[in-house]
Structure 1
Amino acid sequence: MGIFFILATIVQHNDPDWYLWGTVYIIPAIMSFIQAFGPSIAAHYVYQAFIRSCGFLYSLLVLIHGFYFLSNGGTFMASGSSVPLIDPSVGDIENRESLTILETEEGKEFLGSLIALIWIIISIYLTTTSTVGDSAISRRFKLLIFVFTISPLTLWFILYLLESNS
């Protein structure tokens, strides 16, 4: 996930508020690398307090951004149909009443902050169970972490292919 968040930070270079979203994505990247390469740092109480406070702040960010997106007419699906989120044939964006989550910058930022929040929650769990040992982490949870780690990169690649083909 560290690589995903580094890539997410890099693509913020042309965003008008790059400093905000670059920071939102670089913090989970740093956390990922600390947990991977510095487990003794991750076990320290200062890091534990930092990661928990980040979890709280990212929760607020997701709630505020989700409310802002939905209050401005956004929706998680195309209006009046069951068109999936990543379908490029949704229609004319300017003439629709509501926009899907992947058609607006606010929707994409909401999803990015949600991915960061979920990863921080997983990180909190992993650093808490690291004191108990790997036996405390079940195989199902390891599979969930693997799927969640691969999903954003895969979705990003699919969206890139869909945009380049249209």
Structure 2
Amino acid sequence: MGESKNSQSKFPQIIWKACNLCMSFFFALATYVQVNDPDAAIWMVGYGVPAILCFLIGLKADVTETLPWRRLANLHVLISSAVVSLLGWTLYKERITNIFQREEGREFSGLLLTVVWLLLCRHSGRSDVGVGRLFPAVAITVFPIVSWLYYYINKDLRSSWPSHCNTAI
């Protein structure tokens, strides 16, 4: 009976690590496609840092309790939140509704995703990963990958994007 309970408590941890490895891959892909962007260095850091942090969680879930991981994650969340606020205000002020068709909208969405994910990861190494963290993690992990594939397959949706957004992959 003790072995069954132990294997049940490992399953959510495996899913949690898998979600972080998937998000690490997604953020690494987002880092790579910035190579053609006019301000590539900024956005490569914006996605590269979460890619590394998620990869570390995928290797060892309790890394979130180490001081270097927490400091780097907190700094990234702080800076990204400020940029997300500025981009969000720009989108609101200009009354932009189809945000994926504008550079600012894609930047806003990507950075918002990094902020939400890193906040979800905070202190995840303290105890077992519960359904309150696992369910959103799975949903958030699936959403950007499916969205990216959807936009990649439907070329009409990307027709008005700048050339640097269409040539990286």
* TM-score bracket for this pair, using the shorter chain length: 0.7 to 0.9
Q: Tell me, which stretches of 5 or more residues in structure 1 are unaligned?
A: 77-99
Taking structure 1 as reference, are residues 57 and 17 closer, same or farther at Cα in structure 2, changes over 3 Å only? same
Counterpart residue number, 1:7: 29
Counterpart residue number, 1:18: 40
Equivalent runs, 1:30-69 vs 2, <5 Å? 30-39=52-61, 41-69=63-91
Q: Distance in 2 between the 1:13 and 1:37 partners? A: 27
Task: Give the counterpart of 1:148 among 132, 140, 143.
Answer: 140
Counterpart residue number, 2:50: 28
Q: Tell me, which stretches of 5 or more residues in structure 2 are unaligned?
A: 1-22, 160-169
Q: Give, as a single letter, the amino acid of the residue that structure 1 aligns with 2:79.
A: L
Q: Give, as a single letter, the amino acid of the residue that structure 2 aligns with 1:30.
A: I
Q: Give, as a single letter, the amino acid of the residue that structure 1 aligns with 2:145.
A: L
Displacement of 1:103 in angstroms is 1.1
| Higher RCO (C-alpha 8 Å, min separation 6) | 2
Give per-residue Cα distances to partners, 1:61-110, cap 9 Å, x unaligned.
11011112333x2423xxxxxxxxxxxxxxxxxxxxxxx20111111111
Q: Give, as a single letter, the amino acid of the residue that structure 1 aligns with 2:117.
A: W
The structure richer in helix per residue is: 2
Q: Distance in 1 between the 2:132 and 2:64 partners? A: 23
Task: Give the counterpart of 1:138 among 114, 119, 130.
Answer: 130
Q: How many residues align?
A: 136
Q: Distance in 1 between the 2:91 and 2:28 partners? A: 25
Q: Distance in 2 between the 1:9 and 1:51 partners? A: 17
Task: Give the counterpart of 2:106 among 108, 116, 132.
Answer: 108
Are the aligned partners of 1:74 and 1:101 in contact in 2 as well (CA < 8 Å)? no
Give per-residue Cα distances to partners, 1:25-67, cap 9 Å, x unaligned.
0011001011111345432123222222222221111101111
TM-score, normalised relative to structure 1: 0.74
TM-score, normalised relative to structure 2: 0.73
Q: Give, as a single letter, the amino acid of the residue that structure 1 aligns with 2:108.
A: F
Are the aligned partners of 1:51 and 1:120 in contact in 2 as well (CA < 8 Å)? yes
Displacement of 1:160 in angstroms is 1.0
